[in-house]
Homo-oligomer: A and B are copies of this chain.
Amino acid sequence: MEQAGTVVLSSGAVPRPVTSDPDAVKERIVRQIRSDLERIEVEIERQLTTSIPLISVVGRYIMGSGGKRLRPLLMVLAARLCGYKGKRDAALSVVFEFVHAATLLHDDVVDHAEVRRSKPAANTIWGNPAVVLIGDFLYSKAILMAVGHDKLRILEVLTDATTKMAEGEVLQLINSDNLEIDEGEYLEVVTRKTAVLISAACQIGGIFASGPPAHVQALRDYGYHLGIAFQLIDDTLDYTGDREELGKPVGNDIQEGKVTLPLIYALRHGDSSTTARLQEIFGAEEIPREDFIEARDLVVEAGGIDYTQRLAMEHISEAKEALTAFPPHPTRDLMVDIADYVVFRRA
Contacts and interface: CB of A to CB of B under 8 A. Distances in A.
A21 interface: no
A126 B139 CA distance: 23
Given A141-B163, A163-B140, A170 B134 contact: yes
A174 B54 contact: yes
Given A52-B167, A52-B170, A52-B171, A159 B132 contact: no
Interface in A126-145: 128-130, 132-134, 136-137, 139-141, 143-144
Nearest to A134: B170
A156 B144 CA distance: 7
A296 interface: no
Nearest to A149: B152
A40 interface: no
A132 B133 contact: no
Contacts of A162: 140, 143-144
A70 interface: no
A173 B141 contact: no
Contacts of A136: 106, 139, 166, 169
A163 B137 contact: yes
Q: Give the oligomeric copy count.
A: 2
A44 interface: no
Interface in A111-134: 111, 128-130, 132-134
A109 interface: yes
A181 interface: no
A237 interface: no
A165 interface: yes
Contact of A144 (B129, B132, B163, B170): B163
A130 B165 contact: no
A160 interface: yes
A177 to B, nearest CB: 12
Q: Which among A132, A155, A169 has the greatest number of chain B C-beta atoms within 10 A?
A: A132
Nearest to A170: B133
12 contacts: A52-B167, A106-B132, A110-B133, A133-B170, A134-B166, A137-B163, A140-B159, A140-B162, A140-B163, A141-B166, A147-B159, A150-B152
Given A139-B166, A143-B155, 16 more contacts: A51-B167, A52-B171, A54-B170, A54-B174, A55-B167, A129-B173, A137-B166, A139-B140, A140-B166, A141-B166, A143-B143, A143-B159, A143-B162, A144-B160, A147-B155, A150-B152
